[in-house]
Structure 1
Amino acid sequence: MSRGINYVPRKQYPFFTRRTNRKRRKYKLSHIAFVIPALLLNFVFFIYPFLQSAIMSFFDWPIIGEKLFIGFRNYVELFQDVQYWNALWFTLKYTILITPGLFIVGLVLALLINSRLRMVSLFRAIYFMPVVISMVSASLMWLWIYNDLYGLLNYYLLSLHIVQEPIHWMGDASTSLPAVSFMIVWKMSGFTMVILLSGLQGISEDIYESAQIDGANKWKQFLYITLPLLRPSIFLSLIISVIGSVLAFEQFLIMTNGGPSHSTTTVVHEIYNTSFKYFDFGYGSAMTVILLIILGAISIFQMKMMANPGES
């Protein structure tokens, strides 16, 4: 087959071929060089600890003394441990309660910040400021606000005659869970706002102008344009929110300490007590492995839903 009168075989220009291949190799090596630090951090702080925990879960591993291989005995006992499954159930209730709150508040804030209002940068900084505060500091601050003797919340409720006596917010499971959840929504909704705001700013204004010309009002634009195009950011925020909720620890440790009667003990708090309070590292490692399997299943399910939102 003829290739044309200007065709010159590549083998007549070996220098340019070697130069092109050399550039391609350097290009690939530069990509690998950027990935290696992340892989090393992932291996040191996740993969190696997970493998070590998986190994420890098959042992009776006391803090002092000989380690004894016991096979699957820790897992057998774990599936019969009512306290662990109660902690897991409470963590699930907390996740179901906190995830919609974070998303709704974050979405409303993102829509407000994305609109053309005056002093938008100031409001963005104010809304994001609680995220910068450490979880320990925020928990201590809200523990003071919720205090039944000198807390600000009870003071204003009593002053406005909304309640007749101070509410012991952290002393009852029916009030402690909503109270802690409200604190988390206040603290972390700014992070969800930033994720959703980045998605909103990626939507072209031309799409909204075309829809407006076709007669679509603001609600229809939000329903049929904003939400579908915002789907990747929505699923990313939901994945982060669910994983963060399942791994909740500091806020309940500081504000309720798992009480009253272990009614607000999260699964990570239960693992902490087993491993570092009772020094049963083998049993605590088995709890950790089960929790990581559950997190992996949740993440895979959410990623599949993100890839195929129309499929069940």
Structure 2
Amino acid sequence: MAGNDGRGKKRIKLRSGGSHEGLASFLMLLPAIIFLIVCSIYPFIWIFRYICYNYNGFTATYTGAANFERMLSDKTFWMSVVHTFEYAFYKLLFIIPLALIIAVILHTKIMGSNVFRGVYFMPTVISSSIAGMIFTFIFATKNGILNSVLQSLHIVSSPIPWLTGTNVVMAAVTILAIWGGFGNYMLYFTSGMDSISNDVYESAKIDGANGVQTFFYVTLPMLSPVLKVVLMLAITGAFKDYEAIMVLSDGGPGNRSMVMFLYIYRMIFGSTTSTAAVQIGYGALLSVVAAVIVGIVTAIYLFISRKLDDVV
């Protein structure tokens, strides 16, 4: 009986100890839970609250499906969606290969590789607004640095209107995006290559593989998990870009560089170039639609990547 009483007391102590541990865990998680509710869940609910209202920040008038009807006929918004896909395509087309090539070169431990890594990574820590202002001077039609260099090298005979020409403005914002982002992806690729064992490369050398064959048959396949993550981050990041574009071209000329999140920003916060009242209700609806578009694109990418894994 005494032994049974001892075991019972031990069970009671264990249960009380478990409850204390659960309470301590909850209290440690509580700040993060509050932060999640206040900064993520509540704004999401707030957006859904006003999608059927004409809300200017002071008064809210219920309009029913008027915002939905306006969205379906809003050519500027749907063109901004097209421009977003175009911008994302150009950015991904250049930034991923460039980041991978630079990472491979620096991984060969050339002289000053750590210095070059720091230099290439530096643009990622610069504010998007500051980067946009810097490239405004670089892309200026008159007295711009880029036009001066191109003319001095006799590549062009007259200045290129980078920020005022509808044919070249998308190239300008893409160059800015590549400059500001490839260092971050380069670091991911470099970290992934550092985790590959040198024994694998030694085996490839013994088998007579040259540098190109080693890259395609050893480095690239073993980097596939990192490449998937980098691609997903690059896709979602490209669709959400707007700050640097707002500073560089403000969506112009003629809305040629208007991307969907910049258009939504204008609806919710207004524009310095327009006196139109803010339209928070309509902007809330567009933000939901934009989130759905990004979610669909991400889901398609994840589906395709899983299918490719099954094939391989």
Same fold, TM exceeding 0.5?
yes
Among residues 247, 261, 270, which one is paired with 2:263 in the alignment?
Answer: 270
| SS class of match (2:167) | helix
Q: Percent identity?
A: 26
1:201 is the counterpart of 2:209: no
Q: Distance in 1 between matches of 2:78 and 2:35?
A: 32
Deviation at 1:235, TM superposition (A): 1.6
Q: Name the residue aligned to 1:235.
A: 228
Deviation at 1:291, TM superposition (A): 0.5
Deviations 1:91-125 (A, max 9, x none): 11000000121111111121122222222221111
Q: Name the residue aligned to 1:287.
A: 286
TM-score, length-scaled by structure 1:
0.86
Deviation at 1:259, TM superposition (A): 1.2
User: Residues 9-48 of structure 1 correspond to what in structure 2 (within 5 A)?
Assistant: 37-48=31-42
Contact 2:99 2:185 in 1 (8 A): yes
Deviations 1:184-219 (A, max 9, x none): 111211001111112111111122222333333332
1:155 is the counterpart of 2:154: no
User: Residues 40-119 of structure 1 correspond to what in structure 2 (within 5 A)?
Assistant: 40-65=34-59, 67-119=60-112
User: Residues 214-229 of structure 1 correspond to what in structure 2 (within 5 A)?
Assistant: 214-229=207-222
Contact 1:62 1:279 in 2 (8 A): yes
TM-score, length-scaled by structure 2:
0.86
1:131 is the counterpart of 2:131: no
Cα 1:63–1:239 change in 2 (3 A) is same
Q: Distance in 2 between matches of 1:272 and 1:298?
A: 21
Q: Provide structure 1 residue ranges, at least 5 long, that are not aligned to the other structure.
A: 1-9
| SS class of match (1:68) | strand
What one-letter code is carried by the residue in structure 1 that aligns with 2:292? I
Contact 2:170 2:256 in 1 (8 A): no
Q: Name the residue aligned to 1:304.
A: 303
Contact 1:235 1:302 in 2 (8 A): no
Deviation at 1:16, TM superposition (A): 7.8
Deviation at 1:64, TM superposition (A): 3.1
Cα 1:217–1:161 change in 2 (3 A) is closer
The CA RMSD measured in Å over matched residues stands at 2.8
Cα 1:301–1:36 change in 2 (3 A) is farther
